[in-house]
Amino acid sequence: MTNLKIFKMAIAILLTMSLVPLAFAGEPRSKKFLPDIPQTWTEIVPEPTEFMGRELTPTCIGMPFTDPTFSFFVKGGTVNNLVVFFDGGGACWHSMNTIYAPTCSQEVDESVEELEMAGGIFDTDNPANPFKDWSFVTIPYCTGDIHWGSNDYDYPLIGGGYVTAHHRGFDNFLVVLKWMTENFRRPHKIFVTGSSAGSYGATLGFPYIQEAFPKSKASLLGDAGNGVVTEEFQTNDINNWGIQDNLPAWIPGFDRPFSEYELDEMYLMIADYYPRRKIAQYTTAWDWNQTFFYNVMLNVTDPSKWEEWPLVWCDWHDRMLELVDSAADAPNYRYYIGAGDAHTIMGYDKFYTEDSAGVPFVDWVGAMVRNQGGTGGHGGIPWENVECEDCGDPLPCP
């Protein structure tokens, strides 16, 4: 064999070898390592387990005559990106709104059939959906603790005795997170979101999810959970849930008691620790449900006053604006404030029609998730703080 033939053979071998990784690389990174889970909604009822040094028993709140069974739902996608959605359903922290006039979901009320018919980000047949090809993990909510709790608390009964509430929402999240680590291999992108009480669950869960998948590009969007609370709730009532040991202590500032900072500072600390990750919030300017719960905090012992929430509408509105303005000091945080008083957007068709802040919300979210890092948007529109000009104020404020 001549030297020329040997040289040609060597070149051919090298070209062949080079084409193998190129062919693999030609497949979008988001399609690599797809999880082996059905591409239809599937309900999973987890067993007690151990994770992160904790013994975990998944459960709902366990009030009398309620089903304590906790379950979660998953759906595989065609690309290796993942949506983690925390569901909402109120909150409860006192005998009155836990036992006698509950203001929180106490059972898992999702089903495969409901998820198949859901709108918003769950409508994967909508070509405008930026998550239509992604996998989904949906975490139901039935513990009354905004997904933050790890405590069994005895609420006193009128006339004596007590009922034990299992505020184990964070434990349920850890059970789901363990399942995620066992079934997903390095998702390219992870979008962590949640509505109402689930907005808070997404906020606290985000650092744990990012640490569990350190090479994934995670982002966070809280939907209709802006953290306007009373001082009594902040310093006392929330302790019923047992949240202190669940705060991400590796992030500077979270080693302090929760009573020392509000939600805006939580967003600031998380955004500062993950400067290449995008953090965002959505709310309407006059969210009736958030205002209702603020009023419950002010009058928790007297349910007859709970429906008088319009009396504190202006107070809630002003404090909400202060909190998002404070969080916006972080260069990788943005807010979208829409018009009206509707509550939540991620699971509804309004996700595609909302544009009251001067930019379609679906495009704003798309600009957020398409960019893989940094603080700007990516294509189409800039990813900026936006607020409705004609917000449909329901009443004049001082």
Angle between helices 197-212 and 263-273 (to 10 degrees): 20
Domain region containing 382: 32-387
Domain count, the chain: 1
- Judge whether 392 lies within some domain: no
344 φ/ψ sector (left φ>0, alpha ψ -120 to 50, else beta): left
Closest CA to 385 of 342, 343, 325: 325
d(CA 207, CA 209): 5
Show the CA angle centred on residue 315, arms to residues 313 and 321, nearest 5°.
100
Establish if 21 belongs to a structural domain: no
Alpha carbons 133 and 168: distance in angstroms, whole number:
32
Residue 397 lies in a domain: no
**End-to-end CA separation in angstroms for the chain:** 94
Cβ count near 346 (within 10 Å):
28
CB atoms within 10 A of CB 40: 11
Does 246 map to a domain? Answer: yes
- DSSP characters for 300-357? TT-GGGGGGGGGGHHHHHHHHHHHHHHHTTSTTEEEEEESSS----TTSTHHHH--TT
CATH (domain of 185): 3.40.50
Asked if residue 364 lies in contact with residue 309, where contact means CB atoms within 8 angstroms, the answer is no
3-state SS, residue 290:
helix
What local confidence, expressed as pLDDT, does residue 32 receive? 67
Q: Is the dihedral of CA 40, 45, 46, 47 positive or negative?
A: negative
Per-residue pLDDT of the chain (398 residues; tens, 9 = 90+): 444 343 344 434 333 333 333 333 444 555 668 888 999 999 999 999 999 999 999 999 999 999 999 999 999 999 999 999 999 999 999 999 999 999 999 999 999 999 999 999 999 999 999 999 999 999 999 999 999 999 999 999 999 999 999 999 999 999 999 999 999 999 999 999 999 999 999 999 999 999 999 999 999 999 999 999 999 999 999 999 999 999 999 999 999 999 999 999 999 999 999 999 999 999 999 999 999 999 999 999 999 999 999 999 999 999 999 999 999 999 999 999 999 999 999 999 999 999 999 999 999 999 999 865 556 655 567 899 999 999 999 989 98
Sequence letter at residue 276: R
- Domain membership of residue 19 (yes or no) is no
Residue 132 CB burial class (10 angstroms; 0-12, 13-18, ≥19): middle
Tell me whether residue 61 is in a domain.
yes
State whether residue 135 is helix, strand or coil: strand
The radius of gyration of the chain's CA atoms, rounded to the nearest angstrom, is 23
Q: With respect to residue 334, please indicate whether it lies within any of the assigned structural domains.
A: yes
Instruction: Check: pTM over 0.85? Answer yes or no.
Output: yes
Any domain includes 1: no
Contact (CB, 8 A) for 73 and 41: yes
